[in-house]
Amino acid sequence: MKARPDAELIELDATSADQYAFDEAVSPSLLSDVAVVKLVNLQNADEKLAEALVTYTKQAAKDPNGSSVVICQHEGGVKGRKIIDQLVKAGARKEDVPDLKKPDAQLNFVLGEFEKRGRRVEPMAAQQLVSVLGGKTGELAAMCEQLCFDFDDNPMGLDCVNQYLTANPQVTGFAVADKAVEGKTAEAIVMMRAAVEQGTDPIALIGALAMKLRTIAKASAVRAGTISQAEAKTNPWVLKNAMRQLGGWTSAGLAHCIRMLAWADEQSKTNGGDPVYALERCIEDISHKGR
């Protein structure tokens, strides 16, 4: 997204998306000529969608600058492995992502990221990175790289990590989201305004609020027995925390707040829109649990 700031971000799930949805996603729209398309659950893609992916990969290989960027996520295993081979053969680049489901693996990943740059990190600092970013491999790697670039400290200390995390838009967004979910409307709005004034993109705040609500929705589904904890695919302590925040939420309230965030997202991307006002409305609604 940094390389293509004007690109539209589109997320698809291969479990339900077909070739027509994919073709529409990578085609020029009213908002942008190109898009960054994130396709999850590649292993569940049907034959037609797989063919569309391979065809587009071949086209994009000939004109990468004029093409949309497509990022496919495969959950591992044998299922759908053939699609990966076909995409690589067509010109796609394959990136193996470490499995960071367990805290020990997350911590070892952080230590390894510093080590490969010839640096060390204090145990508490590494643990803080894991506590905030968990198993998000890309964000952990980017954070470690940026810390090494910005600070000469060796080993990297907790103060440096906290200083960087405080300036990170997503972390700020999560703090705003926590205050909103706790019903602390005024505090959440003050934090949101301060973040925007310091240069945080409203879209980053909207994304953090949306992620918080999705986690609460998953926690609600787990408690109701609709899905298992494994199916929720959420860090256990994050899910446990969301369970504690379920009180007072209803399905209708969650749906209303998610719709409000979609509206706020539109306000942030539309000329003449007022994203700060839209964020305030969302925070108020989330604080009142969509009532």
**Same domain flag for 147 and 214:** no
Q: What is the pLDDT of residue 48?
A: 92
- Residue 152 DSSP class: -
Q: Is residue 156 part of a domain?
A: yes
Q: Are residues 120 and 202 in the same domain?
A: no
Give the mean pLDDT per block of 10 residues along the chain (291 residues).
Answer: 62 86 80 78 90 91 82 84 90 78 84 92 89 74 82 88 66 78 89 78 84 87 85 75 85 91 86 85 93 85
Q: Which of 111, 135, 166 delimits the end of a domain?
A: 166
Res 1: pLDDT: 44
- The answer to whether the pTM exceeds 0.85 is no
Asked if 115 and 221 sit in the same domain, the reply is: no
80 with 13, same domain: the answer is yes
Which stretches of the chain are assigned E, i.e. beta strand?
8-13, 35-40, 69-72
Question: Is residue 43 domain-resident?
Answer: yes
Number of structural domains (the chain) is 3
Among 125, 141, 166, residue at a domain's last position:
166
**pLDDT recorded at residue 17:** 83
Domain limits at 72?
8-90
Q: Please tell me whether residues 119 and 17 are part of one structural domain.
A: no
CA atoms of 69 and 36, how far apart (whole Å): 5
CATH number at residue 181: 1.20.272.10
| Domain end call among 127, 147, 166 | 166
Question: Quick one: 39 and 65 in the same domain?
Answer: yes
Q: 143 CB contacts (<8 Å, ≥6 apart)? A: 129, 133, 164, 165, 168
CATH number at residue 155: 1.10.8.60
Give the CATH number of the domain where residue 31 resides.
3.40.50.300
Q: Which residues contact 219 (CB under 8 A, 6 or more apart)?
A: 232, 239, 242, 243, 245, 246
